[in-house]
Amino acid sequence: MNKDVIYIEPEDDITDIITKIENSKEKILALVPPKKSGVFRSIVNIKLIAKAGLNAGKTIVLVTTDPAIIKLAAATKLPVTKNLQSAPAIPKIDELADIETASVEEVVAESEKPNAKVVAATEDEAETTKDESDEAAKKDTDKSAKPSKAEKEAAVAESDDAATVEKDTKKPADKKKPKMGAKKRNILIGVGIGAFAILCLVGFWAFAIAPAVTVTVAIRTATDNFSQNATFTTKITEENASEGKFYLDEKKSETKIEASFDATGTKDVGEKATGEVVVYQYFRQKGNIAIEKGATFTNSGLTFVASEGAVLSWDGNGADECINNNKPEELVLSGCLISGRVKVVAAEPGAQYNISAAQSGWSMTANVSGVYSDSAMSGGTSKTVTIVTQADIDAALAKVVENNASSQANRKNKLLEQVEEGAFIIDSSYKQTISDPVSSPAVGEEVKANEKPSLTVTVTDTIYVVDKTKVEEFITEKAKLADSYKIYKMNDPFIENFTEVGETYVGKIKTSYVSGPRITENDVIETIAGKGIGEARTDLIAKFSGIDSNNTKIEASYPWVFSVPSDNTKITVKIDVEE
């Protein structure tokens, strides 16, 4: 227990000391008087200090070695200690001669040492009443004064009378009961008041707060199946849920997949041979023939392409001139033989296109009489590289599709994470599409050394969802239950035969539901509030049809509760739907 050490100043009077006692917040007060204090040398002041401590419910301990103060403290049974480290005790008059003398300064210095022990004193040691203080003071005075002869004779007579009474009655003299202290009386009164208050609170709790009931209403139900055709649209403006036409909200997730593959194709990317061919036409009448750019000429299986066009033309004049075309005379029968040169390039690279001049062996797509070359083709070179073929891409795509099948479930789950709570998922509407593959390098392009071509496709997963609340409202409406019945449980609906028809979809909504009498929590409370438990249960079963009487019960919160509270907050209702 904490103590409060109060140092009394020389100028403090008895009023100042009592004020300090009353203002202290601690239960144990150690008063340290100053040296040669006049206040503490008055028996009246000491009694006032003792009374102030008693009235304030505090234990007063004097810290002093002054014999005069100790003597007065003994007369009022006020505990004294020589310093703050010593245990306090009520001094006895015959022990005063042994008390050490010490100055107040020494007592204060001793009390300020570090780690000082707390003054230990019980309230009973310090407790005293005014009557007991007066009686102790009187005894002390009588002991110090000599009795007179008359007083001695009176004492002897009193002793003889007491002996006579004891001899005649043979009963021991009654011991005088000690008076009960005011504080003890106050404590007993306080305990009694507290016990009464607790008893009142317990009674209030037991009969006003604690009473409560839990009502379990068991409802017999029936299970029915539901099946109804419906239409679905991707246009929200066309939705009409009351007529069974629901808006389809599409959820979409795209996943890009990349895979590398091996290229197996080869290609010669060398230079192409170039040269000229001579084409000629025998005109029997005037006219012209055009050789278009891109016309092909072939010799020994090797194809050359005209890199530019040419026109052979005769106006019908100058027969002698048109014969002079380095052609044998026998070729010129009549008319005019016209020739022209056409630049060509090999269809593919390769040294094999470097062919010599040839007067024969040529064929052509141009509509002319003939073609020949009077100079060699040159410049063709060979360089073989690896290229991507369509077969390579098809094989790579097949592996992507195979791997995609194993990860499809994960992608579908990822898609379903987008679905908001309260949405009805049409599982049969789920589908996936794979985009056309894109390869790098593209088909026919060279694959560089130490590199592998890659294939990229985009997998798109889609699914349709419908507002679940609207579907359930549609089911409830089409179930056509009586007003006194309701659906207590509805299994998750599903769509059977979900099919696309033109711009809409059709399907059949199917589910099952549990229905029974419509009983609300308020209906139950209004029926049983304020009634006895037995009466309340009887009225509840009689009022509502479809209640299972065997499993309907009202349970009280405590054994002493025999009626249902009128306070709605103390009634708990549980609706137990029996399927």
**Concatenated DSSP letters for 207-256?**
IIIS--EEEEEEEE-EEEEEEEEEEEES-GGG-BGGGTEEE-EEEEEEEE
* 375 and 397 share one domain: no
* 162 and 79 share one domain: no
Is residue 105 predicted with pLDDT exceeding 50? no
* 363 and 231 share one domain: no
* 162 and 140 share one domain: no
* 321 and 450 share one domain: no
The H or E element that residue 545 is part of is none
* 179 and 248 share one domain: no
* 402 and 416 share one domain: yes
What average pLDDT is seen over the chain? Answer: 80
The Cβ of residue 527 has, within 10 Å, a number of other Cβ atoms equal to 19
What is the pLDDT averaged over residues 256-271?
90
* 439 and 493 share one domain: yes
pLDDT at 371: 93
* 160 and 292 share one domain: no
279-324 pLDDT tens trace: 988 887 788 889 999 999 999 999 999 999 999 888 777 655 555 4
545-574 pLDDT tens trace: 888 888 899 998 888 888 899 888 889 999
Domain end marker among 112, 144, 176? 144
Domain hosting 201: range is: 149-209
* 420 and 456 share one domain: yes
Task: Compute the distance between CA of residue 32 and CA of residue 109 in angstroms, rounded to an integer.
Answer: 11
Is residue 162 predicted with pLDDT exceeding 90? no
Task: Compute the distance between CA of residue 181 and CA of residue 53 in angstroms, rounded to an integer.
Answer: 13
Task: Compute the distance between CA of residue 468 and CA of residue 276 in angstroms, rounded to an integer.
Answer: 79
Name, in order, each residue with C-beta under 8 angstroms of 196's C-beta and a sequence gap of 6 or more: none
pTM of the model: 0.47
Domain end marker among 115, 144, 173? 144
* 405 and 524 share one domain: yes
* 247 and 136 share one domain: no
Task: Compute the distance between CA of residue 57 and CA of residue 63 in angstroms, rounded to an integer.
Answer: 19
Question: Domains in the chain: how many in total?
Answer: 4
Higher pLDDT, 201 or 385: 385
pLDDT at 450: 87
Domain end marker among 144, 175, 200? 144
What is the pLDDT averaged over residues 263-271?
90
Higher pLDDT, 491 or 142: 491
Our CA angle for 193, 198, 202, nearest 5°, is 150
21-63 pLDDT tens trace: 988 888 899 989 987 778 888 889 899 999 988 898 889 999 9
Question: Are 70 and 100 a contacting pair, CB within 8 Å?
Answer: no
